[in-house]
Amino acid sequence: MRKRAGEARDNRHSRPRGEREARPRGEGDLFEILDNKEKPLLLILDCVQDPNNLGAILRTADGAGVDAVIAPKDKAVGLTDTVRRVSVGAAESVPFVKVTNLARTMRELKERGIWIFGTSDQATQSLYETDLKGAVAIVMGREGEGMRQLTEKECDFLVNFPMKGTVDCLNVSVSAGVCLYEAVRQRAE
């Protein structure tokens, strides 16, 4: 049977429908989550729009033990059926927080002692030379264009990772995996 455009394929790894419906959480939920964490690991997505990318990111975030994934309410994909299927259950387990004003939320995170690291191919500091052992939030920019200017301005540090080939950057879901698992590696030491 052929699928219509935009319709996700069945995924044998996903939970049966109705087992636990994933819903985005609000800003108040984020700060409630943070109240119980000494050194939270957060992931901020600045306008990621591809549901396949978000699903893959949530799956990786679950594996890395991310405390919450934060995204703006506007100009970003939400928890669609495709996201749920690609995440193979992580959309139900990782808190996905939609915020009205991403820059304001980032300022509030900094007030709580969370360091914010933005990823940028223009950065001069390497991810691998960056201390990610404390309370941190890692910011990933949107597909193609990267972080918006205001989001970048709210970052405490900008980091990059070496690109040895001919392409300038990685897919946002792959970049998120690289960054999150560097934080996992450092925190395990």
CATH code at 157? 3.40.1280.10
Consecutive H or E run containing 97: strand 96-99
User: Taking the complete model, does pTM exceed 0.85, yes or no?
Assistant: yes
Burial class (CB in 10 A: 0-12, 13-18, 19+), 85: buried
In-domain check, residue 16: no
Lowest-confidence range among 43-47, 107-111, 118-122?
118-122
The string of pLDDT tens digits covering residues 167-178 is 988 999 999 999
In-domain check, residue 132: yes
The region, left, alpha or beta by phi > 0 then psi within -120 to 50, assigned to residue 113 is: left
- Three-state DSSP string of 2-34: CCCCCCCCCCCCCCCCCCCCCCCECHHHHHHHH
Q: Are 63 and 88 in contact (CB under 8 A)?
A: no
Query: Could you list the residue range(s) of the whole structural domain that residue 96 is in?
Result: 27-31+41-161+168-188
How high is the mean pLDDT of the chain? Answer: 90
At residue 14 the predicted structure's pLDDT band, cuts being 50, 70 and 90, is very low
The string of pLDDT tens digits covering residues 44-61 is 999 999 999 999 999 999
In-domain check, residue 54: yes
Amino acid at 77: V
pLDDT at 16 over 90: no
pLDDT at 124 over 80: yes
**Total domain count, the chain:** 1
